[in-house]
């Protein structure tokens, strides 16, 4: 009797909400492969190798689980990586290529992050979380919110996302200023903003929103010198990447009430450690990197993921 052929195995990582298998029609893979979705996040590489060494395909959610060379080299069965989003800098492409491992991305759009940025700005300025918690506990009107109209909205990085955030700021009647390394006065004007120097951006902003990509020249771009320039009434918003802001400097500024507050959706380490100061500082609105976590985008992520997997299986 001929032995039954073992089906290729597919791992879906970091499915925090347990929704990945319901966001697309995975039934097209039935009989062709087995699919296992993991809801927990594994940080330790040794534990990650033990979990993944038996899988032929790995589906990663953005940069939640990086795929460096040290990990890829220890996964002997790995043949394909599918990452949600169009780019994933946490995958070592050279290491994958040297092993003949396919790497694919999916559709991506920025609207959920733009919307989340404004949710954080409004939530921070109007103390929405604190007031909501107070109401549940029997309280009523415990704070005074800050207005947006007439205030300065500073955009650090006036690219695709920054331009849309600026557009909404103008709709609120805000004065939009911007700076980044390559920003010109003409480009700023096209986006309805005024280009200022880096120092002026931090000095003048009532709300400073970060929209540069993480790179060697933007890592730690916002540190103690920059935070020291900010108004004591100003708020910093970060939906880009945690490492753009010096974490130690940010915590120090918040503890000392050097600035009024911060609303953060991204962090140096994710998930955020349980004992991290961002979880308890009263002037921090922290959310768990949900800027891109929207139903329509998730459906696109996983529909494209299934399509790439089916094409790979058909070629095998």
Q: Which residues are catalytic?
A: 241, 270, 289
Beta-bridge mates of residue 156:
179, 210
CB 45 within 8 A of CB 23: no
| CA–CA dist 105, 103 (Å, integer) | 7
Which residues have CB under 8 Å from 155's CB, separation 6+?
162, 165, 166, 169, 176, 177, 178, 179, 193, 209, 211
CB 113 within 8 A of CB 157: no
Query: CA distances (Å), 225 to each of 89, 118, 230, 302, 304, in order?
Result: 28, 26, 9, 42, 44
Which residues have CB under 8 Å from 69's CB, separation 6+?
92, 94, 95
Buried b (16+ CB within 10 A) or exposed e, 7-41: ebbbbbbbbbeeebbebbebeebeebbebebbeee
CB 299 within 8 A of CB 23: yes
């Amino acid at each position: 009797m001929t032995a039954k052929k073992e089906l290729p195995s597919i791992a879906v990582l970091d499915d925090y909400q347990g929704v990945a298998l319901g966001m697309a029609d995975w039934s097209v893979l039935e009989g062709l492969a087995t699919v296992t979705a993991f809801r927990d996040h594994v940080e330790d590489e040794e534990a990650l190798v033990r979990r993944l060494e038996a899988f032929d395909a790995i589906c990663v959610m953005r940069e939640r689980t990086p795929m460096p060379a040290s990990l890829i080299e220890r996964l002997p069965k790995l043949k394909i990586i599918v990452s949600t989003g169009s780019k994933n800098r946490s995958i070592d492409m050279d290491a994958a290529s040297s092993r003949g491992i396919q790497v694919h991305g999916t559709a991506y759009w920025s609207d959920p992050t733009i919307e989340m940025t404004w949710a954080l700005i409004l939530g921070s300025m109007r103390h929405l979380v604190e007031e909501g918690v107070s109401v549940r506990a029997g309280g009523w009107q415990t704070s005074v919110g800050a207005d947006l109209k007439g205030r300065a909205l500073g955009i650090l990085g006036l690219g695709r996302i920054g331009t849309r955030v600026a557009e909404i700021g103008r709709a609120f009647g805000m004065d939009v200023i911007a700076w980044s390394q390559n920003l010109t006065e003409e480009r700023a004007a096209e986006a309805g903003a005024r280009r200022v120097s880096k120092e002026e951006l931090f000095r003048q902003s009532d709300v400073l929103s970060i929209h540069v990509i993480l790179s060697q020249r933007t890592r730690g771009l916002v540190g103690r010198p920059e935070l020291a320039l900010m108004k004591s009434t100003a708020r910093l918003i970060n939906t880009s990447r945690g490492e753009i802001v010096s974490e130690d400097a940010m915590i120090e500024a918040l503890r000392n009430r050097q600035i009024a507050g911060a609303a953060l959706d991204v962090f140096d380490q994710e998930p955020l450690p349980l004992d991290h100061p961002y979880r308890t500082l009263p002037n921090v609105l922290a959310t768990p990197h949900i800027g891109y976590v929207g139903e329509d985008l998730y459906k696109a992520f996983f529909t494209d993921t299934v399509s790439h997997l089916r094409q790979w299986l058909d070629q095998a």
